[in-house]
Chains A and B, each alone.
Chain A
């Protein structure tokens, strides 16, 4: 059969099987098995070696270890403390609460690496707090849904590891490449919030004056301006600082070439467990067991998808599907940037339906030949891809963060949440455009890396 037709058939069938609701890993293995049986049955005996071999990698160890790093932090009250600390330092800005919520999300997302978990942890405190201070509900919800997605861009990010392993790109470089675009997203979103409160001074004054109640004419018995003394600001620092140091330690050791991502994750996991035990007094057997088994559940779930996806791309490449798909795309009369736009649209659409981890694992190995064929840097593409998938997390029908936000504030209609998140989606798209115009935004830091 013509490889080009075959490649289309394989992808459509894989997509359809996944949509049926089968676990992603077994769906991918089932598709691979079916095509091996039909087209090259002699490969059957090598499949267990491929499946086993996909896990036989020290680089992959970074995934469970980063999950292990985040599990104790997610189980503790760290998110509340982080939020409070950020608020005490940032509340004087117009829209300061929004900006500090964003910052807290950025830091927590970096530590915990999971988008919905970040939205739940920070949103649970942030949304009621923002609404209490007169923030329009749509803004509050949109902000949390969006800020939760920082987790897959800001290092350490699990999806970046998946990309690195699936495409044999340096994981350390992918991590470091996410830093500046991540900061850019936070800054642009913060600017939007500040502008919002300049444009709508009514909201601003309410949001600024603490617990203003409109029917009492702004006269409340609560202080108009919240004010924190330096001591009140400093009291949260010792609780939050160690976790910030973990992030900087990981980024620094990767940047300086002192450690591989797996080593950084291992040391980070041990430190985070010790910190949580010391600061939050989590040391009962059930608590430790829950933290560890949750980490095992998440790790095994992702790693099984990883193994299945590697098996899938092994089969695709054996059937010459990967190569012919690249040929099809490269032969399109669109030019270099036309193809990039096409790929972005494709990623956006896939992101609407399929979770980021699965999209990266299925699509990245296929698109990599196209990307390098066009002369783009795979590290740059890692960032482009991630920002695309961030958008998928806040758009229906599967946008997980929308679910979370709806759960926290059930009284707000989905349309309002969507309305609130739209400006942030535009910001994400803007970041993609900026990354295309100035690839250095992603590549400057990793290219300066040592080691």
Chain B
């Protein structure tokens, strides 16, 4: 690979990660928005006795967004849970190869899901379908999230695969694997002081 090529590639990588980050931040605030909308719905229902159709529907749209589009964001730090029972016992090199194969399969899965779900979105758009509720928003909005998310996740996996290959070539893989479930949990070191304010 020539210098200029790798320069282009790293730009593409940054672009993909930037996209996933922006859509992911939106997803993070979608969760907050969902909580606020549900709360508003509860208050409206209890205080005014009105029905809460749009609150329920809109918050479910946000849920779908957070799940499918958030999946690409979660992949940035490899947050998708796996069973690491076997891989933690492999030698680092074999482990990286197994994980590379897993990433390729995952990318393929995303590609298939994206390929089959873009037509689903397109059809609902062309036929101008709406949900069956009183509020009745167009169906292409929630239908967009699955293909969009899977496309982003596919791209994110490409970045991931490229990194894994570079890592395998350079031979600089880590000695130990960080378990997915423990990634964001800070394990406090012994001797942590107990509460203040005594």
Contacts and interface: CB of A to CB of B under 8 A. Distances in A.
Q: Do these two chains interact?
A: yes
A52 B80 contact: no
A147 interface: no
Given A44-B116, A58-B56, A127-B190, A293 B73 contact: yes
A289 B41 contact: no
B64 A116 contact: no
A333 interface: no
A299 B81 contact: no
B15 interface: no
A177 interface: no
A61 B59 CA distance: 8
Interface in A226-247: 235-236
Interface string A50-91: 011001111011001100100000000100110110000000
A398 B41 contact: no
A294 to B, nearest CB: 6
Contacts of B181: 116, 355, 400
Nearest to A124: B188
B86 A65 contact: no
Interface in B29-60: 29, 31-32, 34-39, 41-42, 46, 56, 59-60
A296 B73 contact: yes
A149 B112 CA distance: 37
A55 B83 contact: no
Contact of A296 (B66, B116, B195): B66
Given A58-B60, A127-B190, A305 B81 contact: yes
Contact of A355 (B59, B83, B194): B83
B168 interface: no
A345 B146 CA distance: 38
Contacts of A116: 181-182, 185
A33 B112 CA distance: 9
Contacts of A364: none
A56 B142 contact: yes
Taking residues whose C-beta sits less than 8 angstroms from the other chain, chain B's interface range is: 35 or more
B83 A24 contact: yes
B110 interface: yes
A403 B146 contact: no
A23 B82 contact: yes
Contacts of A307: 67
Interface string B56-83: 1001100110111011011001011111
Nearest to B116: A48
A295 B185 contact: no
Contact of A266 (B42, B64, B81, B108): B42
Contacts of B25: 289, 293
A307 to B, nearest CB: 7
Contacts of A262: 38, 59
B19 to A, nearest CB: 15
Interface string A8-25: 000000000011111111
Nearest to A82: B195
A51 B113 contact: yes
B7 interface: no
Contacts of B120: 48-49, 52
Contact of B74 (A27, A301, A397, A407): A301
Contact of A300 (B39, B71, B84, B192): B71
Contact of B184 (A25, A235, A273, A294): A294
Given A18-B83, A299-B66, A267 B28 contact: no
A304 B187 contact: no
Contacts of A304: 67-68, 71, 74, 80
Top 7 closest A-B pairs, CB basis? A266-B38, A124-B188, A300-B70, A407-B187, A23-B80, A292-B28, A48-B117
14 contacts: A20-B98, A23-B80, A26-B106, A26-B110, A55-B64, A56-B60, A65-B31, A270-B39, A273-B32, A289-B28, A304-B74, A353-B85, A403-B179, A408-B189
Given A120-B186, A357-B81, 12 more contacts: A21-B98, A52-B117, A65-B35, A120-B188, A258-B46, A293-B24, A296-B70, A301-B74, A355-B81, A355-B181, A404-B185, A411-B190
